[in-house]
Structure formats: structure tokens, C-alpha cells
Amino acid sequence: MTINMNVHAEIVRGLPKQILIDGKFVPALSGRTFQTFNPATGEAIADIAEGDAADIDLAVAAARRAFTGPWSRFTPFQRQQCLLRFADLIETHFDELCVIDVLDMGVPISMMRARKQRALGLARFYAGLVTTIHGGTLPNSFPGEVFSYTLKEPVGVVGAITPWNAPLTSTIWKMAPVIATGCTMVLKPAEDAPLTALRLGELLLEAGVPEGVVNIVPGFGHTAGAALASHMDVDKVAFTGSDFTGRKIIEASKGNIKRVTLELGGKSPDVIFADCDMDAAVAGAGMGVFANSGQICCAGTRLLVQRPIYDEFIERVSAYAKSLKVGNGLDPETQIGPVVNAKQLDRVAGYIDVGLGEGAQATVGGKRLTEGALKNGYFFEPTVLSCVTNDMRVAQEEIFGPVAAAIPFDTLEEAAAIANDTVFGLGGGVWTTNVSTAHRMAKAIRAGTVWVNTYGGLDPVVPFGGYKTSGYGRESGVEHIEAYLETKSVIMKLG
């Protein structure tokens, strides 16, 4: 398959690469830039303005002015129209946005195209919620004539920090509720994949969102991210990323006790019962691990397989892993792309060494791919580790790579105990043809989302988030909107 790099280079040349503050793209105050790389080739693709604390100060000030300025007088209908125009622009430029994600973080173009409904659905779902935001009248027991009611008001300036593993959808996921509720925001995209967020900021301005409502400051976590999380004029932080950084966000929020929602990591169990549809479970559980090279927070990386089918399932899922085409994400035939950078590649390889040292066996994969066109990229083979016990590090720690750890079990009760024996609780899966088993296991797994006879699908109407150290708060669903609103009670004596 021919990949036209000239066309893709032209797309990158036309993208904004500076900081978006108060409706204008400007250089960082420091004058510094950093490079973003194509993980399929290892080549630098753009120099990005490197924002830090001073830029965050300017962006927060712009967001505060917008919050108290004309944006505060936008009606629900006007905010809804902004989001609908934004969705239309995403649809118009979707092919371009797909290419940007592929170049910046390596996801296969086929996977990006499959995300079209989700990307558009998110923007239009929140547009639909705008006119449903309301308070209510409340009965009370005060003596005399006393009227009580509630108002729903935007929380204020939101600091949003997004991950690199799904730039398009994760950025829309942060932007849309801000616009829907009448908040304003400062967004710090991940330094490994900042281009999509900057392009979406450009599209929001084109959609009619006023200057200063959305500000975007690319930079590094320990500078720009830390400044945003601790800023005294930020009212809420919405963060997606690792549990390690999530703890730092909580610490940083204490200064003004800002609202915090966290969507953090996972080590999700995917439980395969002996009565499952084997063909469906092999493909579904396999891609539940390997999709996006395992760089999905809710990836089902612990395969809990009932003992009567353990050997057969491991053999078949290993063959499935070996059949997947690994390559440059711009090739439509590619199923598995690279991991995001050299550091992540070393992390994945290091965990393989750890697992083998603990007694696990690699039934397939386990190595970096360096042949031919893959030699300069950050490619790792889809890997299945068998002979794993749940106390091993490869079963307890988030690898964030295409690595499955397979653990046998006998009974439903044992499967539930293994599934919940983790500090995480983001997702889980169940494969069975028994309705009773499906319901019992779905209830037993302590996680924010449990998929049954499927894995990993997300829908804007269905809330998503974690238990335990996988975070708190929910994204999607009506629950998401509530996290961006304050409830004000009004008690009024009449007469």
C-alpha cells in the first residue's frame, strides 16, 4: 500500500503549532519549542510552542475574562448551536483529523475511521444536553409562604489535561461539556500528541465559540500541567492519565480546594468461561488487549480463562495475535501500529523481562519489531504471557502495551476474587453463553464498566469511569455534565 507522505506533510505544515490564548495563536513567552515525533518512523514532524507557568497564567486570565464576559450571556440555544457547528466541522475535516492522530501517536488509520461515529456522537450528544440543564422547584417545611428552588450554574474555569493515546476523542470529551455548561477552559494536551488539540481549538473558533472560552497550552506535565493543576483561579481540573499523575493532581488541587475528576489507569480483567462462543471470545478478547497497541486505559490485559479451555484458548489467542498485521498506521491494512515513543517501547520490553523472570512464558511475541520498514519505529509484537499468577507484576501493573497476561481459574467465585485483586477498577469483561453467569459476574466485578460478550465499546450516553485507583467522576452520560455544574439553592420568603 502506497503512503503519500507529501500529502501528509502538507497537512502538518498547515496546522497551528503555537499556544492558543484569547482566540489567537501566539508563541510561548519563553520562546522555547519542543518536537513531536512520528512513532512509526522515529522522525520529528513538528516544532510545538512549549508553554509553561507564565503561559498558563495568561490562559487562565483569558478564560476568566471570557467566563464573566459575553460568553456568560450566551443562551442555551446559542451554546447548542456552537457545539452543532463544531460537530459539523469535525465531520468536514474528519479525514484530516484522522491523519493527524496517526502521524502524532501511531494509531492505525482503520481504527481512526471506525471512531468517526464516536467523535461526532460526543459533540452532538453534549449539544443535545445543553437545553436539558435546569434546576427545580422544591417543597419545603418553612412556616408561612416560602418558595424554594435550585439553579444550575457553570463551575467556572476548567483546567483540562488530556492523554496521548486517543487525541481526537479524548480532546472532544473534555471540550464538549465545557461548551455545553457555559464553563471556560485551559487545555494542556499531552506533549507526545498535541497537534489534534490545537486543530480542534481552531475549529471551535470557526464554530463561533468566543475568544478565550477555550485556550490551549501545549507543554510538559511538570511545568505547564503542574501550573494548571495548582492554579488558584482554576475552579475544576479534569484529568485523564496515569494514577501516579492523578495523585499529583489531587495534591495540587488543595490550594483552593478545586473540583477534580480523574479518569486514570487500569488492569482490567477479561473473564472467559468454558461455555463461551470461542471464536467471538478469541477475537474480542484479543483486540481488547491489542487494539491501539494496548495503549487503552481500560484494555482487558488480564485474561482470566476457565481451566477446561485454558490451553485451547491460549493457543488460539496466540495464533490470533500472530496473525495481526503490525505496521505504519497510514497503511489501511495495518491492524496494530507502534507504541507512542521510545520510552514506552522500553517500558513494554522491560515488563516482558520482568514477567519471564517471574516465571511467565511468552506463547507469542515478546520482542521489538525491527525488520524492513519497521526498523526505525517503535513497534512491539502483540504478546501473550501464559503461566501467570495474579501476584506477578505483569498481572498487577499497567504496562500500556500489547501484552496479555493469561491466568487460569476454576469457579465463578475464584474468577471474581482474581478480577478484584487489584488496586484498579476501570473495566472488565465477561464471555459466556449463560445469562445467569453473565449477570452474576458483571455484578461481582468492581469496575466502572463491564462488557459482556464484547469488549471496549463506548457510547456518549453511557457513563465511563473507574472504581478505586482508576479515579473518580464519570465521563459521558448525564453524570458528566453534573461535574461541570454547581447547584445553587434559593429560599425566598413571599409577601
Active site residues: 263, 297
Taken as a whole, the chain contains a residue count of: 495
Q: How far apart are CA 380 and CA 383, in angstroms?
A: 8
Neighbours of 101 (CB within 10 A): 24
Main-chain phi, psi angles of 367, to 5 degrees: -135, 160
* Cell representation of residue 428: 472488565
**Greatest CA separation for the chain:** 84
* Cell representation of residue 383: 504478546
Q: How far apart are CA 187 and CA 174, in angstroms?
A: 8
The residues, ordered by sequence, that sit 6+ positions from 316 with a Cβ below 8 Å of its Cβ are: 278, 282
Q: Residue 43's beta-bridge partner residues?
A: 38
Strands 368-369 and 184-188: unpaired
Q: Are 130 and 79 in contact (CB under 8 A)?
A: yes
The residues, ordered by sequence, that sit 6+ positions from 407 with a Cβ below 8 Å of its Cβ are: 302, 303, 304, 305, 388, 389, 390, 395, 418
| SS3 category, 400 | coil
Q: Where are the beta strands (DSSP E) in 273-402?
A: 302-306, 361-364, 368-369, 379-380, 383-386
Q: Are 34 and 47 in contact (CB under 8 A)?
A: yes
Neighbours of 54 (CB within 10 A): 14
